[in-house]
Amino acid sequence: MKKIVILISGAGSNMAAIVQAAHQQRWDQRLGVQVAAVISNKPGAAGLDWLRSQSAYSAIQTDVLEHAQFESREAFDQALMKRIDVHAPDLVVLAGFMRILTPGFVAHYAGRLINIHPSLLPAFTGLNTHQRAIDAGCQFAGATVHQVTAELDHGQILAQAVVPVLPGDTADKLAARVLTQEHLIYPAAVAAFFKP
């Protein structure tokens, strides 16, 4: 059985979408894949609470590794790799994991580390993507699933969803519309990663 480890920092809505898709679409039987663990760098992450409250997903292990407990980004990433590697993952999925990863971490999982970013990459890397799209007068925004490389929000594009920017849009309104598309394309991209 191939294994997925998902990293989160907060609400974990993309994690939940992936976990639900894996269950409903029977990835274990169809693709020989299971979500093995969800790890957060924040003990109060709502996504962990949600997962622990769902009896259907009780086989998925949860773990917390607080980044604030470490003196450096490198020390945290080394400790995180050890926690992840216990599960021998075939794919590591960043689902709202709000940490910039060290080159050593990215190299360790090269070719099996993916992220979702709330813009149509290569446009608007980094933060505040929705407001920046509105400020730039874009007619469209969206989300991108991509392979993670040492360069922030770069790497091979695996999937994208396009959302119109509507008159009177605020960053929050646009973010909410983009998020509904993220919940569709991220599970599909994860499943596609394992299709022969």
Q: What parts of the chain have a pLDDT lower than 70?
A: none
With the CA atoms of 73, 61, 157 and 180 taken in that order, what torsion angle do they form, in degrees rounded to the nearest 10?
-110
The pLDDT value recorded for residue 39 is 98
Separation between Cα atoms, residue 195 and residue 189, nearest integer Å: 10
Question: In this structure, how many other beta carbons lie within 10 angstroms of the beta carbon of residue 96?
Answer: 21
Q: How many CA atoms lie within 13 A of 165 on its CB side?
A: 19
- Give per-residue pLDDT as tens, 137-152: 999 999 999 999 999 8
Helices vs. strands in the chain: H and E counts, helices first: 7, 7
Cis peptide preceding 118, ω within 30 of 0: no
Q: How many domains does the chain have?
A: 1
- Give per-residue pLDDT as tens, 3-40: 999 999 999 999 999 999 999 999 999 999 999 999 99
Range of the domain at 118: 2-194
The pLDDT value recorded for residue 196 is 80
Confirm whether pTM is higher than 0.75. yes
Burial of 14 (0-12, 13-18, 19+ CB in 10 A): buried
CATH number at 135 reads 3.40.50.170
List residues with catalytic annotation: 117
Strands (E), the chain: 2-8, 33-40, 61-64, 91-94, 113-117, 140-147, 157-164
